Amino acid sequence: MLSAAHFCVDFACAALYFGLFSNRTDWWTILLLYNACAFAAQLPIGIAADVWNHNRLLAVIGVALVLLGYAASGAPLPAAALAGIGNAAFHVGAGTDVLTHDGEKAGPLGLFVSPGAIGLYVGTVFAGFLVRNVWIVLLVLAACAALIQLSDRGSLMNASENARWEIGSAGSCTLPLLALVCVVALRSLLGTTTAFSAEGILPLIGVFCVAAGKASGGLIADWLGLRLTALISLGLSAVFVCIPNAWTHLAALLLFNMTMPLTLHAAALHLKSAKGFSFGLLTFALFLGLLPKLLQISIPDRSFLYAGMILLSLGLLLLGVRRIRL
C-alpha cells in the first residue's frame, strides 16, 4: 500500500509543477526551490523522524502538505515549498517505516521506491488535464492518506524501532556511508545524461526500465546478496552503455537503477538505530547529483566516460557494503 501511496504523491507533485508553473518566467527558480525542499530537506526531516518516531503519521502529514501546496497555488514559491516539503516528509515517513519493519530485506524497499518514477511521468504527461480537473488530484491524495492508514502495520501513532540514536553510532561506518553517498550522487548525475535517454523510443519504456530496475534490484539482492547483485548489475550496465543502441542503453538504465534499493538497504544496515537519517542522507545525495542539471551544467556526451563513472560507482558500492554481513 505504501508503494501505491508513493505513486500518488509523486503524481500529484508533478501535476502541480508542470500543470501550473511550467509556463512562468520564473519556473527555473520554482524548480530549484521545489527540488531543494523535496530532496535536500529529507536529511533534516530524517533526523527529526528518528527523534519523533511516528513514521506513518509523518507520511500522512507529508500528504497534507502537498494538499496545502495546491491550496496555495496562487503563490508559486510558497506552493512549491509546501509541496516539496510534503513530498520529503512523505518519503522519509513511509521509507523509514519500510526500513523499520522490513529491515532485513532489500526487496520491500525496492518495491516501495519503484512506483515514484511512474507517478512522476503520469503526472507530467497529464498535468494540463489534471490542473483543469484538480478534483482528481485531490481524490488521489485523499486515497493516498487512506492507503497509509489502512496499511497492515498497525496504528498511525505506533512508534517504530528506530528511536533514540546517537551521532557517535555512525563513527565506525563513516567511510562506507560516504562511499554510498557518492554512489547515489553519481547515479543521480548519470540519470540526467544522454547515456540513459530513450531517444527514438517511447519515453514510457525508459520510465518502466527505471521502475523495474529499482523493484528488481532489491529482490535480486535478497537472493544473491548485495555484493554479487552490484557486480552483475553495474558490470553489465557499464558494458551496455558503450554500445551505440537505444535498446542497450535502456538495458543499462534498468541495470543501473538496481543499485537504488541496495544503497538504501546498506545505509540502513550501517545505521540500524537511525533509519530516518540513513534514508534522508542518501536522498540528500540525490540532490547533489541533480545540482549540475539544475544549474544547467552539462556533462560531455562520451560513452566511455559514462562507463567509467558506472565502474567507479561499483567500486564505491563495494566499499559501502563493507562490514555488512551478507
Domain boundary among 89, 114, 149: 149
Largest CA distance in the chain: 53
pTM: 0.90
**Domain count of the chain?**
2
Any domain includes 159: no
Any domain includes 163: no
* 216, three cell numbers: 528488481
Cell 547515489 found at:
184
183 and 307 both lie in a single domain: yes
220 and 260 both lie in a single domain: yes
Any domain includes 213: yes
pLDDT (tens place) for every residue of the chain, 326 residues total:
788 899 999 999 999 988 888 778 888 889 899 999 999 999 999 999 999 888 989 999 999 999 999 999 889 999 999 999 999 999 999 999 999 887 678 999 999 999 999 999 999 888 888 888 888 888 888 888 877 876 655 455 444 555 454 544 555 678 899 999 999 999 998 887 766 665 555 678 888 999 999 999 999 999 999 999 999 999 999 999 998 888 888 899 999 999 999 999 999 998 888 999 999 999 999 999 988 888 887 777 788 889 999 999 999 999 998 766 55
144 and 177 both lie in a single domain: no
3-state secondary structure of 56: helix
Q: Could you tell me if 260 and 95 are in contact, meaning their C-beta atoms sit under 8 angstroms apart?
A: no
* 147, three cell numbers: 492507503
Any domain includes 158: no
Q: Residue 141 belongs to what domain range?
A: 2-149
Provide the terminal-to-terminal Cα distance of the chain, rounded to the nearest Å.
Answer: 28
24 and 91 both lie in a single domain: yes
The predicted structure's pLDDT at residue 219 = 94
The predicted structure's pLDDT at residue 85 = 96
122 and 180 both lie in a single domain: no
